[in-house]
């Protein structure tokens, strides 16, 4: 039996499913969402940051025109979060906007803290992720394992008459 690192396996799975968000791109999307709000973020996608210029894909010509009017305000909000001069210009272009994944409406997906785990479950999760060195990956795995354990526990309790 050939042992593989969990990080390598996860990377292969994400690659097969074309989920190739780097931590930089994810951080850029978070900054964008916090700066423009969910309404505008749903119609746009920050593509890249190069030489303090932010390149943003926009869903339609109407949004492109509207965002040109808001450009300075958006730059100010981003720089308010990240520091003066982080973004000096924004270039908008029409492009394909990735569809945000639908959020599961079940209570356990929104409030996992409402379903506390047993100490033994927490220890098992910590042991499972203890060999992962990448802190971001470790946090993701911890959330996934916690939610999975809660989901399993809830599905077992729902099946019992």
pLDDT of 33: 92
* Same domain membership, residue 40 and residue 57: yes
* Same domain membership, residue 78 and residue 31: yes
49 in a structural domain: yes
Helices and strands counted in the chain (H then E): 6, 3
Q: Which of 47, 63, 94 is the last residue of a domain?
A: 94
Give the residue numbers spanning the domain of 152. Answer: 102-156
Tally of structural domains, the chain: 2
Q: Over the chain, what is the mean pLDDT?
A: 79
Q: Which of 49, 70, 94 is the last residue of a domain?
A: 94
112 in a structural domain: yes
User: Which one is predicted more confidently, 15 or 3?
Assistant: 3
Closest CA to 131 of 1, 2, 7, 3: 7
Q: Which of 67, 94, 121 is the last residue of a domain?
A: 94
For a pLDDT cut of 90, what percent of the chain falls above it?
30
pLDDT tier at 11 (50, 70, 90 boundaries)? low
User: Which one is predicted more confidently, 14 or 114?
Assistant: 14
* Same domain membership, residue 89 and residue 33: yes
* Same domain membership, residue 126 and residue 74: no
* Same domain membership, residue 126 and residue 84: no
pLDDT of 94: 94
CB 110 within 8 A of CB 81: no
User: How far are the Cα atoms of 28, 29, 99 from residue 58, in angstroms, in the given order?
Assistant: 15, 14, 13
User: pLDDT digits over 27-69, tens only?
Assistant: 888 899 999 988 899 999 998 899 999 999 999 999 999 999 9
Which residues, at least 6 apart from 129, have a Cβ–Cβ distance to it below 8 Å? 138, 141, 142, 145
* Same domain membership, residue 87 and residue 29: yes
pLDDT of 128: 87
1 in a structural domain: no
pLDDT tier at 14 (50, 70, 90 boundaries)? low
Say whether 154 sits in a helix, a strand or coil: helix
């Amino acid at each position: 039996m050939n042992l593989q690192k969990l990080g390598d396996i996860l990377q292969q799975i994400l690659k097969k499913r074309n989920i190739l968000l780097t931590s930089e791109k994810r951080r850029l999307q978070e900054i964008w969402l916090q700066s423009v709000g969910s309404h505008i973020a749903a119609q746009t996608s920050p593509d890249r940051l190069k030489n303090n210029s932010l390149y943003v894909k926009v869903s339609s010509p109407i949004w492109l025109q509207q965002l040109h009017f808001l450009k300075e305000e958006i730059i100010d909000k981003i720089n308010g979060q990240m520091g003066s001069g982080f973004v000096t210009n924004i270039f908008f272009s029409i492009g394909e906007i990735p569809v945000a994944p639908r959020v599961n409406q079940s209570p356990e997906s929104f409030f996992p803290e409402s379903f506390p785990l047993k100490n033994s479950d927490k220890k098992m999760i910590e042991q499972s992720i203890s060999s992962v060195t990448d802190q971001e990956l470790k946090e993701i795995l911890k959330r996934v394992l916690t939610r999975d354990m809660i989901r399993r526990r809830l599905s077992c309790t729902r099946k019992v008459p």
